[in-house]
C-alpha cells in the first residue's frame, strides 16, 4: 500500500537543492503537491512489484512541459525509476533532499530513461522525479513509470546512476505538469 503525505516547504528546498535552475519560478506549484510513499520490495525479477504510474507530458506551442512526481524514500534501500514511452526520447531527473541530482537519458530499454539510486547515495526524505524530453523539446504524449525501492543486494539495484553536482546546470522544462497519480497499485511479478 502507498502512503500519501503533504510537504509544505518543498518548493523552497527543491529550488535551493539545485541552485534554483531546475524548475525556475514554477517551484511554487509544487509546494502543496502530493508526496507518495515508495513501496519496498524484496522480489528479484526486474521491476517486480513496482508501482506503475501513467503520466502525460504536454506542450503548449513551443513551450515544453515536464511531468513531476514526488516520493518519500527511506535509506538502506535502492530506488528504481524505470520510464517507458514510445512517442519521444525522454529523460528522468531525480532531485534528492540533500541536493543530489540523478539524471538519465537512455539507460533503460531503447531510448528510455532508467534512474537507479544506490542505497549508499539514497538519503531519507522527499525526492522529486522530473520526466521530460531529453533536450527540453516541446512534445506531447503518455509514458509509464515503474517505481519501487529494493533491498541493496537486489538485481533491481544494479547499474546505479552517479549523482551530478548540485550546482551543475540542467536543461529542464520550465512548466511542470504536476502531479501524476498511480495506476492500479503494485504489479505482480
Nearest to 101 by CA among 167, 150, 159: 167
How far, rounded to the nearest angstrom, does the alpha carbon of residue 108 sit from its chain's CA centroid?
14
Helix (H) or strand (E) holding 104: strand 101-104
Helices (H), the chain: 10-17
Q: What is the pTM of this model?
A: 0.76
Question: What nine digits make up the cell of 160?
Answer: 546505479
- pLDDT surpassing 80 at residue 20: no
Q: Give the count of beta carbons closer than 10 Å to the beta carbon of residue 110.
A: 9
Q: What is the pLDDT of residue 168?
A: 52
Instruction: Name the CATH topology of 4-179.
Output: Jelly Rolls (2.60.120)
Residues 6+ apart with CB under 8 A from 120: none
Rounded (to 5) percent helix, strand, coil in the chain: 10, 45, 50
Q: What's the grid cell of residue 5?
A: 503525505
Q: Residue 72's closest CA among 125, 3, 25?
A: 125
Q: What is the pLDDT of residues 24-65, one digit of tens each?
A: 333 444 545 689 988 899 999 999 999 999 999 988 888 989
Amino acid at each position: 500500500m502507498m502512503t500519501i503525505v503533504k510537504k509544505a516547504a518543498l518548493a523552497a528546498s527543491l529550488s535551493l537543492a539545485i541552485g534554483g535552475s531546475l524548475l525556475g519560478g514554477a517551484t511554487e506549484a509544487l509546494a502543496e503537491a502530493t508526496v507518495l510513499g515508495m513501496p519496498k520490495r524484496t522480489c528479484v525479477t526486474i521491476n517486480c512489484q513496482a508501482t506503475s504510474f501513467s503520466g502525460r507530458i504536454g506542450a503548449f506551442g513551443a513551450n515544453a512541459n515536464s511531468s513531476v512526481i514526488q516520493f518519500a524514500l527511506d535509506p538502506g534501500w535502492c530506488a528504481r525509476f524505470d520510464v517507458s514511452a514510445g512517442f519521444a526520447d525522454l529523460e528522468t531527473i531525480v532531485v534528492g533532499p540533500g541536493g543530489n541530482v540523478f539524471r538519465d537519458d537512455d539507460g533503460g530499454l531503447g531510448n528510455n530513461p532508467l534512474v537507479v539510486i544506490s542505497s549508499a547515495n539514497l538519503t531519507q526524505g522527499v525526492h522529486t522525479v522530473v520526466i521530460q524530453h531529453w533536450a527540453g523539446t516541446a512534445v506531447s504524449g503518455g509514458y509509464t513509470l515503474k517505481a519501487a525501492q529494493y533491498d541493496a543486494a537486489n538485481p533491481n539495484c544494479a547499474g546505479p546512476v552517479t549523482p551530478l553536482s548540485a550546482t551543475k546546470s540542467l536543461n529542464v522544462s520550465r512548466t511542470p505538469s504536476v502531479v501524476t497519480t498511480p495506476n492500479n497499485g503494485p504489479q505482480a511479478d
